[in-house]
Structure 1
Amino acid sequence: MFEEIFSPVQKIAFTPFSNLYVKRDDLIDPYISGNKWRKLKYILAKAKAKNKTHLVTFGGAYSNHLVATAAAASRSGLKSTAFVRGEEVKNEMLLLCHLFGMKLIFTDRESYRKKYQLFDIHFKNDDQAYFIDEGGASVEATFGCAEIIRELTETYEHIFCAAGTGTTAAGLLSGIQKQGLNTKLHIIPVLKGASFIQTEIAKYTTLSGHLKLHLDYHFGGYAKTTPELISFIKNFTAKTGVLLDPVYTAKMFYAIHDLTKQGIIGKEEKVLAIHTGGLMGLFGMMDKF
């Protein structure tokens, strides 16, 4: 199912950029989109190598990762179960999970924090169950994300990516180092107070001067927005035809825009933005638009 796929790089015309390019991983698949496809590629390979037939993972009620895991399991002939953080709800994302055959276990927030304990309680007698952390965080996920760099046919002064767990960032940094590039990797954490992401990245790869974290573009925290961010999304999409989600990619593109306006990123420098997909996250924010 995870055959070689090379997502296109598209040049975007949007003031004040002269050389803004986008790696369109959002076009890889409608349900296993962007970095979710990248992360699950080697996770599923490892699960199959261990003869596991039941994927068990974790996420919130609007988690793109849950939809991606459910779709990947269904296409691969595997069972899937998800622990969903919070009270029982119904929404578009969970409907897709249900249609793809995923079993949903709604879990209070305190219990949800103890993921390995939850897994052991529910699946200690299921030797076919395979633990997948929230968001797919794992060393296998970094292998898939590192391939983004290998696919590039041009070099860029700057590469930007949004971050939640730091797994995609670690893969990108590893790829840059392996290719011997001089590219600066700019990471835009979408959580408030996310300096810990540097520590998370260091779990998977050696830190280097290639890496730069920008901690001030979270817009209040994870899945938080402001009228300014929503206005930016509307303007960007109307002028470029590229959809952004408010949780991840919009914050990244806003950061690129702001850093360029400030002169921190030169208007003539080649910038590559990694579009990590996640567009179904728009469903959870319909009232913001």
Structure 2
Amino acid sequence: MIETSVFFPPPIQQIYNEDGVEVYVLRLDLMHSWVNGNKWFKLKYNLLEAKERDFSTILTFGGAFSNHIFATAAAGKLFGFNTIGVIRGEETLPLNPTLDFARKQGMQLVYLDRTTYRQRNTRELQESLKQRYGQVFIIPEGGCNLNGIRGCTEIAQSLRQFDTICLACGTGTTLAGMILSLHPQQRVIGFPVLKGGEFLYKDINSLLQDYFASDLPASVDSPAAWDLVCDYHFGGYAQVNEELRLFCQSFLDKYNIPLDYVYTGKMFYGVMDLIKKGFFQNSDRCSQILLIHTGGLQGNLGLQK
């Protein structure tokens, strides 16, 4: 069994109420010190399946600053799994805070050059890893699979009162889970943190099709309306400038909510900018917007100047 009582129910905090727009934040970052945010939801059913199939070792993939690697290492120690992290690129010493934490949680770190790493989802590479490390349960990078989507459908089950849900996007897994769990009259807006994030339209549609084709449960018969806003990536994945840093600091000072630079900071910046531009105003009634704080605050340690 996976003991979920170690997680706190995430509170909802109101931060804005002006010009016909109310903004709230779902604080997934407060669920657990290390295994928090959307990372827990993407890991949950993967870990349950691994436990049910008697796997003792989890193998997964990520970059050197990966929130997923960080959370998987912590979850492995918490729930009694051995963990192996396959890291993109060459080893750099001393280890950055993310990888140092993962190693201290007991995760074995393995490095692949970038060309080989791009083959991480192929049968050939995965079979090679199994031959090398034995019977391992493989979780894709970022928890991007049907189990990950299933877990993310649970984030929004009690959020039916909001008109619009906003969240940052990397692989689109969390967004797909939200789309599958909200009412059709609600809408979900994803803010890709990668430059050229329009490719996620195709990826998310593929995830939705795969989920509907599976026998996994869905809480709605038809997906909620959704869209992407691709203008707030600040130059690309993990790219940070002074404007974003100042915004995150100002937001912390004003609302006592810390934001990470890679994901939530960019999404929160985008939402507040769009409010100024009248993007969310509804002429008939007040618009209620919920921002999903997906955690990942540990990533800031590697990006501090």
Please say if residues 16 and 260 of structure 1, whose CA atoms lie closer than 8 Å, have aligned partners that are also in contact.
no
Partner of 2:262: 247
Secondary structure of residue in 1 paired with 2:106? coil
In the aligned structure 1, how far is the partner of 2:3 from the partner of 2:21? 34
In the aligned structure 1, how far is the partner of 2:58 from the partner of 2:101? 16
Partner of 1:97: 102
Query: Are 2:70 and 1:67 equivalent residues in the alignment?
Result: yes
Instruction: Figure out how many residues of one structure are paired with residues of the other and give that number.
Output: 283
Partner of 1:272: 290
In the aligned structure 1, how far is the partner of 2:53 from the partner of 2:223? 34
2:251 corresponds to which of 223, 233, 236: 236
TM-score if structure 2 supplies the norm length? 0.87
In the aligned structure 2, how far is the partner of 1:279 from the partner of 1:285? 11
- The amino acid that maps onto 1:41 is K
Partner of 2:113: 108
- The amino acid that maps onto 1:212 is D
In the aligned structure 1, how far is the partner of 2:169 from the partner of 2:59? 23
Secondary structure of residue in 2 paired with 1:203? helix
Secondary structure of residue in 2 paired with 1:204? helix
In the aligned structure 2, how far is the partner of 1:144 from the partner of 1:94? 25
In the aligned structure 1, how far is the partner of 2:234 from the partner of 2:3? 34
Partner of 2:52: 49
In the aligned structure 2, how far is the partner of 1:278 from the partner of 1:96? 13
**Where do 1:190-209 residues align within 5 Å?**
190-205=193-208
Please say if residues 180 and 224 of structure 2, whose CA atoms lie closer than 8 Å, have aligned partners that are also in contact.
no
Question: Alignment RMSD, CA only?
Answer: 2.0
- The amino acid that maps onto 1:190 is V
1:142 corresponds to which of 139, 145, 149: 149
Structure 2 unaligned spans of 5+: 210-221
Please say if residues 98 and 298 of structure 2, whose CA atoms lie closer than 8 Å, have aligned partners that are also in contact.
yes
Q: Quick one: percent identity of the two aligned structures?
A: 39
Q: CA deviation at 1:47?
A: 1.2
In the aligned structure 2, how far is the partner of 1:241 from the partner of 1:9? 13
2:236 corresponds to which of 206, 218, 221: 221
Greater mean deviation of Cα atoms: 264-273 or 1-10? 1-10
Query: Are 2:225 and 1:210 equivalent residues in the alignment?
Result: yes
- The amino acid that maps onto 1:104 is L
Partner of 1:39: 42
Deviations for 1:109-162, whole angstroms, at most 9, x for unmatched residues?
A: 11111114433223226552011111111111111111111133x511111010
- The amino acid that maps onto 2:4 is E
TM-score if structure 1 supplies the norm length? 0.92
In the aligned structure 2, how far is the partner of 1:112 from the partner of 1:144? 26
Partner of 1:173: 179
Q: CA deviation at 1:15?
A: 7.4
Q: CA deviation at 1:17?
A: 8.4
In the aligned structure 1, how far is the partner of 2:170 from the partner of 2:158? 23
Partner of 2:79: 76
Please say if residues 51 and 128 of structure 1, whose CA atoms lie closer than 8 Å, have aligned partners that are also in contact.
no
Greater mean deviation of Cα atoms: 214-223 or 10-19? 10-19
Query: Are 2:278 and 1:263 equivalent residues in the alignment?
Result: yes
Q: CA deviation at 1:13?
A: 4.0
Secondary structure of residue in 2 paired with 1:35? helix
Deviations for 1:47-72, whole angstroms, at most 9, x for unmatched residues?
A: 11222111001111111111111111
- The amino acid that maps onto 1:114 is Q
Please say if residues 84 and 109 of structure 2, whose CA atoms lie closer than 8 Å, have aligned partners that are also in contact.
yes
Please say if residues 83 and 104 of structure 1, whose CA atoms lie closer than 8 Å, have aligned partners that are also in contact.
yes
Q: CA deviation at 1:203?
A: 2.1
Q: CA deviation at 1:188?
A: 0.3
- The amino acid that maps onto 2:186 is T
